[in-house]
Structure formats: structure tokens, C-alpha cells
Amino acid sequence: MKIGVSVSIDVTKIDKARLYEGKKGTYLDLTTFIDLDAEDQYGNNGFISQSQTKEERESGAEKTAILGNVKVFYKEGGEAKTAAKQETFDAEDIPF
């Protein structure tokens, strides 16, 4: 099944220490949980946060901050929700 998901994050909440250099750029591992059958009061189906390392999960470390929300706007074989908000920005607008 295919779904369309709109993701919105607050980049000021990113823990810059979790950014890492890869072969083609700077990366940040993220985790999202999506419930296709439930929406919150704002129409969101889940959230997105910075990923924890295996060691952090095993040690029971405090959860990472929630950076934003996810909203399912399309479900294959189902009704499409309102179109995801599309915005453009310059890389210079990112505060890090």
C-alpha cells in the first residue's frame, strides 16, 4: 500500500551534535511513528523525532525531542485528504 505523508519539523529543535557527514552531504537520522487510523486535534497522524542510537535505546536513555508532525494526505485505494502544504525556501533560511 502506498501512502503520501507530509512532514513538518522545527529545525531549531535539532540537536546539532547528531548531524553527521556522509559521502554526499550532512545527515540527520530521524524516526517517525504513523497511525493511519487516528488523527490528533490538528489532523496529524504521528510525529517525527531524532533517532536514538542502539546504545541509547538499550540503556533506557531519555527520549529525543519531538521535532514535528506527520500528516497522511494520501492513501492508495482510499480518499485523498487535503493536499500537503508545499513551501519553498533557500538553504540560507535554515538556522544552522
Alpha carbons 85 and 22: distance in angstroms, whole number: 29
**What is the reported pTM?**
0.69
Encode pLDDT of 9-29 as tens digits: 999 999 999 999 999 999 999
Encode pLDDT of 61-79 as tens digits: 888 889 999 999 998 887 6
If DSSP states are collapsed to H, E and C, what string results for the chain?
A: CCEEEEEEECHHHCCHHHCEECCCCEECCEEEEECCCCCCCCCCCEEEEECCCHHHHHHCCCCCCEEEEEEEEEECCCCCCCCCCCCCCCHHHCCC
